[in-house]
Amino acid sequence: MISIVIPFFNEEEGLLHTLATISDTLRSLARPWEIVAVNDGSTDKTLAILLEQQRLMPELLVVDLSRNFGKEAALTAGLAHASGDAIIPMDADLQDPPELIAPMISKWEEGYEVVLARRSDRSSDSVAKRLSARWFYQAINKMSEVNVPDNVGDFRLMDRLVVDTVMSLPESRRFMKGIFAWVGFKTTTLNYKRAERNSGSSKFNLWKLWNLAIEGITSLSITPLRIWSYLGFMVASVSFIYALYIVLRTLVYGIDVPGYASLITLFLFFSGLQLIGLGIMGEYLGRAYIESKRRPPYIVRKLYLPRLKGEYINHPRAFDAASS
Ligand code: UDP
Ligand code: MG
């Protein structure tokens, strides 16, 4: 069976078209399939439309989260409830072309455990988004030992084995692209052209993307922490040489009073450096603190299962639902 996992956050406009297009593609494959739709705390009619569709589409499973947890958590929720032998996460806006599903499956049948979809053409994204994406992938790949493939989103096929491994990782803050890259497995890549959003607008503004980038780097690498030891060492060495020079100069030429400008400049410069260092330490400390609370990445309000002709309320330890 093939599972398609789609997170929905306020996608009422394009929802019907997306479901229709993807289910048409799946029907043409002539094999069992399901769509796991995660409602990530939408405030519009997304959930109502999904449930309406479910009556016509017995292959549709709806996971309703208790609030907006963000795409990474919504995706985790979807993976936890997918029961296919191969699982493909997709966006709700048809930016991930369904035509790629069939080629992905043939690669999977050849024996690959992960089939990545690389956006070889991103002309549909803005210049700023493309540039920042490129910068992000360069930075993260320099700093961490796992290789996060560039221009590969969450759209990919994963074997059951891979998804089970991903779900068995205990961390609650989940940067999925990093986790997917970290678990490894036998991987191949297909190229595609990124389409325009079919309707509505992107849920990621620059600030959200920036935070996602920080999340990504801090979740995969501690290089930003280590930089400070080296920087400190360098500054201390230079200061020592400079101090020697001043002492010698004072001994030879006597006391030299002016120097307020250089003093205040150096003072401000090093105060700034120390604050940046503290801030970076704070980023990691904060993450360690949140992780130490061991909260689940998401809470399921209700799971709607069409085939059982009923619904039940999931207990709050939703993260355990992975095994149920
Ligand atoms: N999404 C979500 N929760 C959020 C933000 C986004 O589930 O808090 C979903 C959204 O509904 C879509 C996918 O994540 O299915 C990708 O979002 P979007 O298309 O806005 O991102 P972009 O393609 O611009 O990166
Ligand atoms: Mg999109």
- Based on the fold, state whether residues 236 and 264 are members of the same structural domain: yes
- Euclidean distance between CA atoms 93 and 201, whole angstroms: 9
CA of 275 to the centre of ligand 1 (A): 34
Q: Is residue 121, in this structure, part of any structural domain at all? A: yes
**Contacts for 219 with CB less than 8 Å, ≥ 6 apart:** 173, 175, 178, 287
Q: Quick one: residue 254, left, alpha or beta (phi over 0 = left, psi -120 to 50 = alpha)?
A: left
Atom index in ligand 1 nearest the CA of residue 209 equals 25
Q: Going residue by residue through the chain (324 aa), what tens digit of pLDDT does each one get?
A: 999 999 999 988 888 989 999 999 998 988 899 999 999 999 999 999 998 888 888 889 999 999 999 898 999 999 999 998 999 999 998 888 898 999 999 999 999 999 988 887 777 677 877 787 888 888 888 888 788 887 888 889 999 999 999 998 888 877 888 888 888 888 888 888 777 776 777 777 778 888 888 888 888 788 888 888 888 888 888 888 888 888 888 888 887 677 777 788 788 888 888 888 888 888 888 888 888 888 888 999 988 887 554 444 443 334 444 443
- Based on the fold, state whether residues 106 and 128 are members of the same structural domain: yes
Q: State which of 4, 8, 9 you would mutate to test the pocket of ligand 1, scoring each by most atoms of that ligand within 8 A of its C-beta.
A: 9
- Based on the fold, state whether residues 283 and 136 are members of the same structural domain: no
Q: What is the pLDDT of residue 279?
A: 85
- Based on the fold, state whether residues 129 and 195 are members of the same structural domain: yes
Is residue 91 lining ligand 1, measured as CB closer than 6 Å?
yes
Residues near ion ligand 2 (Cβ under 5 Å)? 91, 93, 95
- Based on the fold, state whether residues 167 and 24 are members of the same structural domain: yes
Q: Is residue 321, in this structure, part of any structural domain at all? A: no
- Based on the fold, state whether residues 246 and 299 are members of the same structural domain: no
Query: Which ranges in 154-254 belong to alpha helices (H)?
Result: 160-168, 176-183, 206-220, 223-253
Q: What is the pLDDT of residue 307?
A: 58
Q: What is the pLDDT of residue 309?
A: 45
With contact defined as beta carbons under 8 Å apart, do 69 and 58 qualify? no
- Domain of residue 245: give its range: 223-292
Atom index in ligand 1 nearest the CA of residue 69 equals 8
Angle at 294 between CA 86 and CA 280, to 5 degrees: 100
- Based on the fold, state whether residues 74 and 206 are members of the same structural domain: yes
Q: State which of 19, 71, 90, 174 you would mutate to test the pocket of ligand 1, scoring each by most atoms of that ligand within 8 A of its C-beta.
A: 71
Is residue 74 lining ligand 1, measured as CB closer than 6 Å?
yes
- Based on the fold, state whether residues 147 and 34 are members of the same structural domain: yes
Q: Is residue 89, in this structure, part of any structural domain at all? A: yes
Q: How many residues does the chain have?
A: 324
Atom index in ligand 1 nearest the CA of residue 10 equals 11
Is residue 208 lining ligand 1, measured as CB closer than 6 Å?
no
Is residue 18 lining ligand 1, measured as CB closer than 6 Å?
no
- Based on the fold, state whether residues 108 and 227 are members of the same structural domain: no
Minimum CA distance residue for ligand 1 atom 19: 202
With contact defined as beta carbons under 8 Å apart, do 72 and 141 qualify? no
Is residue 202 lining ligand 1, measured as CB closer than 6 Å?
yes
Number of domains into which the chain is organized: 2
Q: Is residue 320, in this structure, part of any structural domain at all? A: no
Q: Is residue 249, in this structure, part of any structural domain at all? A: yes
- Domain holding 60: CATH number? 3.90.550.10
Q: Is residue 319, in this structure, part of any structural domain at all? A: no
Query: Which ranges in 32-120 belong to alpha helices (H)?
Result: 46-56, 71-81, 101-109
Q: Structure pTM?
A: 0.75
- Based on the fold, state whether residues 285 and 299 are members of the same structural domain: no
- Euclidean distance between CA atoms 16 and 269, whole angstroms: 56
In this structure, which ligand is nearest to the CA of 50? 1
- Based on the fold, state whether residues 109 and 173 are members of the same structural domain: yes
- Based on the fold, state whether residues 115 and 200 are members of the same structural domain: yes
What is the amino acid identity at position 41? G
CA of 232 to the centre of ligand 2 (A): 42
Is residue 125 lining ligand 1, measured as CB closer than 6 Å?
no
Q: Is residue 318, in this structure, part of any structural domain at all? A: no
Q: Is residue 323, in this structure, part of any structural domain at all? A: no
Q: State which of 203, 206, 212, 298 you would mutate to test the pocket of ligand 1, scoring each by most atoms of that ligand within 8 A of its C-beta.
A: 203
Minimum CA distance residue for ligand 1 atom 2: 71
